[in-house]
Amino acid sequence: MQYEIEPHGHFKMVHIIGNIDTEVNTKILDDEISRLIEQGHHHFVFNLKRTTYLDSAGISIFIHCLCDVQENNGSIYIIAEDNQVKKVLVMVGITRLIKTYDSVEAFVKDQEVD
């Protein structure tokens, strides 16, 4: 797994590339997100367009981030195309906790309305 973090308006967009399936890799990203939260960043978008596989280790990233940002009135969103990764998100119920979009364009359009 690789990741890239870039500013996107008042959000930090986290692009996750490859498989999210080992505790070691997810801990590195989880620690990076925790560091950003400590620096005052409380709004995140996880872009899973280039994610090829997701298991419970990956799900834990979203849950940890959600818990941490809610303490600071933050927000978290997920962008996942209609593929196997999105099916996993729906199956485990993450989409009931975290608003999920099919594309960056849909996310941006919804943010413009708010």
Mean pLDDT by 10 residues, the chain (114 residues): 94 94 84 95 97 89 94 95 92 95 95 77
What is the domain range of residue 31?
Answer: 2-113
Using a 10 angstrom Cβ sphere, with 0-12 exposed, 13-18 middle and 19 or more buried, the burial of residue 35 is exposed
Overall number of domains in the chain:
1
- The CATH number of the domain holding residue 20 is 3.30.750.24
Angle at 5 between CA 38 and CA 43, to 5 degrees: 50
- Give the model's pLDDT for residue 114: 61
Residues 107 and 111: their CA atoms lie apart, in Å, by 6
In the chain, how long is the greatest CA-to-CA distance?
38
Torsion-angle region of residue 30: left (phi > 0), alpha (psi -120 to 50) or beta? alpha
